[in-house]
Amino acid sequence: MKYYSTHRQSPPATLEEAVIGGLAPDGGLYMPERIPTLDDAVIRSLKDRSFHEIATLVAQAFFGEDLEADALAEIVREALSFDTPVVPVSDGIYSLELFHGPTLAFKDVGARFMARMLGYFIRRKGIERQVNVLVATSGDTGSAVANGFLGIPHIRVFVLYPGGKVSPIQERQFTTLGQNITALEIDGAFDDCQALVKAAFADRELNRRLLLTSANSINVARFLPQAFYYFHAWAQLDRAGRAGRLTVCVPSGNLGNLTAGLFARRMGLPVRHFIAALNRNDVFREYLQTGLYRPRPSVTTLANAMDVGHPSNFARILDLYGQDHAAVVQDISGYGYTDEQIAATVREVRHTHRYLLDPHGACGYRALIDRRLQPGETGLFLETAHPAKFKETVDRITGLPVEIPPRLQAFMQGKKQSTPLGKDFNGFKNFLLTQHLVN
């Protein structure tokens, strides 16, 4: 299968080229030239299959032409070593818990899958140079990518994060690993980290001397695998007799997760409607309501993994719907919430339904309530992270300490190793040029 750029200014790429390259040379995002469909009988049979079987099926449909079945099955098996259960929260509303992976957030799925697929293509292509993955993070992306790529041969990961601006738990998750993971503590804000990464990709000399790629959700190997758990969730609801009239609500930032859901639907998954749940950074809701897209700098909120003012996968959604606003709004609605509304939702759901939401999942739950589903309809929201990942915030909201799962506690015992760097590009560039393969 070939992948075209949303800008349509560079030639179609193979999967291998798209995964190694990340962004298309013309600056667009790669899209598969067609979306394979699963027939109805297969969809109906999902309820009798395991997550692993479902993921393999969907992966084969998408990537089957481009790598051997054995290799793909192994990538799926290694990437998805944990479950994504659906649990009931309140009347007709279910939570898809995506936080049972190593760093307790949904990004584990895409990061682990991409790491293994990229590793496979590097081997197959016989690339002998070190491949450098650059990732800017405000917290969650860095931990998922660092843990996902840990120990993968020929790949070196540089995580750029704003010093003093990520939570201690998040910082530990990417600064204590060592091996092929290098944490760079930038004296600046998240935007400075992102600017450094962008400048690196644009720097001719750096790209001549080093192989650079990105592990953000622009990479097809990171965002497409997220379709797997939509199928698995539907299978679980079907088993419970609740898959009939389904609305799926996705707490959104860069819109990668939502886009994967839209792909799942195009593949034949019977989802009636999607909701993008947002915080105060709601340019996408504004687009849905007005047809105008006005990206702007993000503001800080309690659901900080969704603090995005210019969502990168917006381009993919527009492309999927042929730039037709009316078609987009037929399938997707948007809701945005203030910090006060997020906090009130966490408190209320904990009190009334004994379910502890994290600030991102709270936006998702609340949007399903505000959507006012009819009796017999089912609402499913994606619980994108474990509440303990945002312990300081959640403790403050509920007045009760969240219990830290052992996996998170283990990170707190590690020793922090990071390299402090300024936010000027030349210092960063010189640092990269002195780094050599460690494994």
Ligand X SMILES: *Cc1c(COP(=O)(O)O)cnc(C)c1O
Positions in the binding site for ligand X (CB under 6 A): 105, 107, 140, 217, 251-257, 305-306, 360, 384-385
Write out the two tokens for 405: 């799962």
* Shortest reach from residue 257's CB to ligand X, in Å: 4
* Shortest reach from residue 218's CB to ligand X, in Å: 11
Residue with smaller CB distance to ligand X, 21 or 251: 251
| Beta carbons within 8 Å of 330's beta carbon, 6+ residues apart | none
Residue with smaller CB distance to ligand X, 150 or 388: 388
* Shortest reach from residue 360's CB to ligand X, in Å: 4
Q: Which residues pair with 380 in a beta bridge?
A: 94, 248
Residue with smaller CB distance to ligand X, 242 or 265: 265
Residue with smaller CB distance to ligand X, 350 or 360: 360
Nearest CA to 230 out of 420, 349, 405, 54 is that of 54
* Shortest reach from residue 305's CB to ligand X, in Å: 3
Beta-strand (E) ranges in 311-376?
A: 332-336
Residue with smaller CB distance to ligand X, 28 or 364: 364
Residue type, 252: S
* Shortest reach from residue 284's CB to ligand X, in Å: 9
Residue with smaller CB distance to ligand X, 4 or 390: 390
Radius of gyration of the CA atoms of the chain, in A? 21
Write out the two tokens for 324: 């037709």
Residue with smaller CB distance to ligand X, 183 or 385: 385
Residue with smaller CB distance to ligand X, 186 or 250: 250
* Shortest reach from residue 336's CB to ligand X, in Å: 13
C-beta of residue 391 within 8 angstroms of C-beta of residue 358: no
C-beta of residue 237 within 8 angstroms of C-beta of residue 380: yes
Q: Which residues pair with 381 in a beta bridge?
A: 95, 249
* Shortest reach from residue 2's CB to ligand X, in Å: 24
Residue with smaller CB distance to ligand X, 111 or 432: 111
| Tally of helices (H runs) and strands (E runs) in the chain | 20, 13
Outline where 69-226 has alpha helix (H).
69-79, 107-125, 140-149, 168-175, 190-202, 204-209, 220-223
Q: What size, in residues, is the chain?
A: 439
C-beta of residue 437 within 8 angstroms of C-beta of residue 130: yes
* Shortest reach from residue 24's CB to ligand X, in Å: 19
HSE (CB half, 13 Å, CA atoms) of 229? 33
* Shortest reach from residue 176's CB to ligand X, in Å: 19
C-beta of residue 12 within 8 angstroms of C-beta of residue 2: yes
Residue with smaller CB distance to ligand X, 134 or 385: 385
Residue type, 438: V
Nearest CA to 303 out of 261, 337, 354 is that of 337
* Shortest reach from residue 226's CB to ligand X, in Å: 8
Write out the two tokens for 243: 């898959």
**C-alpha to C-alpha distances, 436 to 108, 118, 186, 331, nearest whole angstrom:** 27, 19, 21, 48
Distance, in Å, from the CA atom of 344 to the CA atom of 338, rounded to the nearest integer, reads 10
Distance, in Å, from the CA atom of 105 to the CA atom of 103, rounded to the nearest integer, reads 6
* Shortest reach from residue 103's CB to ligand X, in Å: 9
Residue with smaller CB distance to ligand X, 252 or 298: 252
